Amino acid sequence: MMLERGSIADRYASLREEIDAAMRSLGRSLGAARVVAVTKFQPRDAIVEAIAAGVASVGENYVKEAEGKLAGLPVRKHFIGHVQTNKARRIAQLFDVVESVDRVEAARALERAAAALGRALPVLLQVNISPSERFGVTPDRFDALLDEVRTLEHLRVEGVMAIAPIAATREETSRAFEWARACFERSGGDVLSLGMSGDWREALAAGSTELRLGTAIFGPRPAKEAIGR
């Protein structure tokens, strides 16, 4: 157990160093890219350890899983999973930002939930840049979605999130990231959430301001059955 605990802190520290080095070589200012630790299927102990190691933001994909696990933790909570309209209320209650708004119905459900809670809810619009990804608005329909979401009083569009194609070459990944970046530039926001454990270098080169990192921090994910959702 001690070894495992130490390794989260060690991995996070060396990852931060690698990210800073990459930012320096890109001529970008350090601190211009935030790390969101993706904690799906990770036990609460591991999250507590990551927070002790300096993690300030976590990302979760499943509402039910996050509800018990994240309760009371001093960390910024990002919802990065598919937004089901019947879970909008719980998402708006539990999370500080929703990164995965990809259609008008989801946005409207979150708007109603945020209004009922009397809060403003920061959101990112999820752009689909990959044939392997089920969710996200396609780049050609991005502006229409953006226009709709901007009319919703309680949602604040802070930028764009996207997931790279699976098993793509570095060139394909970089090209896909450019599609997301083009949408981001029209969004009026300042958050570009691109980059996971396998492609964060390409993401930083494409201007990402937020990396969503799971396995690079925690190691291989436990099976979801171990947590229950």
Ligand X SMILES: *Cc1c(COP(=O)(O)O)cnc(C)c1O
> Applying CB under 6 A, which residues contact ligand X?
38, 40, 61, 80, 163, 196-198, 212-216
**Min CB(118)–ligand X separation in Å:** 28
Q: Is there a contact between 206 and 171 (Cβ–Cβ < 8 Å)?
A: no
**Min CB(50)–ligand X separation in Å:** 13
If the CB atoms of residues 11 and 40 are measured against ligand X, the closer one turns out to be 40
Chain centroid to CA 204: 15
If the CB atoms of residues 51 and 196 are measured against ligand X, the closer one turns out to be 196
CA distance 162 to 177: 8
If the CB atoms of residues 23 and 196 are measured against ligand X, the closer one turns out to be 196
**Min CB(215)–ligand X separation in Å:** 4
215: nearest Cα among 46, 25, 30, 87: 46
Q: Which residue is nearest to ligand X (CB)?
A: 214
**Min CB(173)–ligand X separation in Å:** 13
If the CB atoms of residues 138 and 215 are measured against ligand X, the closer one turns out to be 215
Tokens of 73: 């933790």
Beta strand 34-38 pairing with 57-60: parallel
If the CB atoms of residues 8 and 163 are measured against ligand X, the closer one turns out to be 163
Tokens of 164: 């790279």
CA distance 75 to 62: 17
**Min CB(40)–ligand X separation in Å:** 6
CA distance 139 to 65: 31
Number of neighbouring beta carbons within 10 Å of residue 71: 9
